[in-house]
Structure 1
């Protein structure tokens, strides 16, 4: 494997911020649209529609922000551990707005924060493996402090997302943008945690694994 390509810290931070904003801007825009309808319409049905739009969009924005805080944010001080139960909660709320159904089978326990952040980022990667929806199963296996992470995405037209493994491995010959930074970040987390990510396809299932380097 080639040495991962390094990018400037300021560029890294800017691209991650762009990624988070990309997720949040749609529901926030819908809230604004709903408020404009309330300001301009006297029709009760339209007002009811606007209130429903605002309510659903606010719930979606909150879910995405909570997910981003754990998946991309500090989530505690250096060396902190994170409860997988918290990760399950934010993941399930995030997935309510996605086409795929989430089955969370990872045992509840405390794990190093970068391993938890990696799990959530690999969940995001798995969503691109089933663009038409399906089922995503998240589980862990093996002992602490480095249990293996396994995510299986099953659905029609499942695929290994283009460039994703290269980006996870830190290969950015084709450049980085707000979309590509997320799998690149996942790879950075994996290396920091001493885990190696592999991706393979078995019929309609794309299997993403992060295992300790000693198993490689």
Structure 2
């Protein structure tokens, strides 16, 4: 089957929708908190609203910093990115009571597209454990060849529908929607970085493996 060549405008629109989906909830909470601050005279309610604003602002900032590397043009063309920076934004992205991130990797510089792929695989891993759990990241190799192993463990772990076909650029019906763009985009980044991605499910653990071809 020939790989789908998604129109560049459609790809940009779907990626923008993906980023907005992550940011709109905390931004909406900030707006709600400000409205409470304006309308309430009760000090307890104002303190509650202020805590909500602080938490939501941190969450929105963390998600935007993550998106800047995972989807954006962080660094110049062909640049390398420090995996320590990737770890920092990933831990900010998953900083909640639902998912715990375990990072097993020494700090190193890797080609930009490989780091973008790594962060996108983390988002995919989270989709495989919708009830939350633990995501463990292991990086081996160096700038010449790398292997990423991500194990997402949680109750009712699953491989999201059509994930491998989307990664391979061969979606059903030759189309991609907002639900599938994450996997399709990760496949594009994987091929651009010379890496192959495979998925596996064993019990309550969803594994994603990417290695240099």
TM-score for both structures, normalised by structure 1: 0.95
Q: Is the 8 A contact 2:165 2:172 kept in 1?
A: no
Counterpart CA distance in 2 for 1:143 and 1:50 is 46
For 2:67 and 2:96, the matched residues in 1 are separated by: 14
Q: String of CA shifts for 1:70-90, please: whole Å, max 9, x gaps.
A: 100111111100000000000
**Cα deviation 1:65-112 (Å, max 9, x = unaligned):** 000001001111111000000000000000013622100112210000
Q: Is the 8 A contact 1:107 1:139 kept in 2?
A: no
Report the alpha carbon displacement of residue 143 of structure 1 after superposing the two structures with TM: 3.9
Instruction: Work out the CA distance in 2 between the residues paired with 1:98 and 1:165.
Output: 29
Q: What's 2:152 paired with?
A: 153
Q: Cα deviations across residues 176-211 of structure 1 (Å, max 9, x unaligned)?
A: 222211111000000011111000112221110011
Paired residues of 2:110 and 2:142 also in contact (CA < 8 A): no
Worse-superposed segment, 192-201 or 174-183: 174-183
Q: CA deviation at 1:3?
A: 3.1
Gaps of 5+ in 2: none
The residue number in structure 2 matching 1:133 is 132
What is the match of residue 48 of structure 1?
47
Contact 2:111 2:143 in 1 (8 A): no
Determine the structure 2 residue equivalent to 1:66.
Answer: 65
Q: Secondary structure at the match of 1:103?
A: strand
> How far apart in 2 are the matches of 1:107 and 1:98?
26
Mapped to 2, the partners of 1:27 and 1:42 lie a distance apart of 24
In structure 2, relative to structure 1, the CA distance for the partners of 1:183 and 1:33 (3 Å cut) is same
Q: List per-residue Cα deviations over 1:5-49 (Å, max 9, x = no partner).
A: 011111111110111011110100000000001111101111011
Q: Distance in 1 between matches of 2:169 and 2:79?
A: 25
Query: Alignment partner of 1:54: what SS?
Result: helix
Residue 191 (1) aligns with residue 187 (2): no
Q: What's the C-alpha RMSD, in Å, of the aligned pairs?
A: 1.2
Determine the C-alpha separation between the residues in 2 that align with 1:120 and 1:114: 10
- Equivalent in the alignment of 2:88: 89
* Mapped contact 1:125–1:183 kept (Cα < 8 A): yes
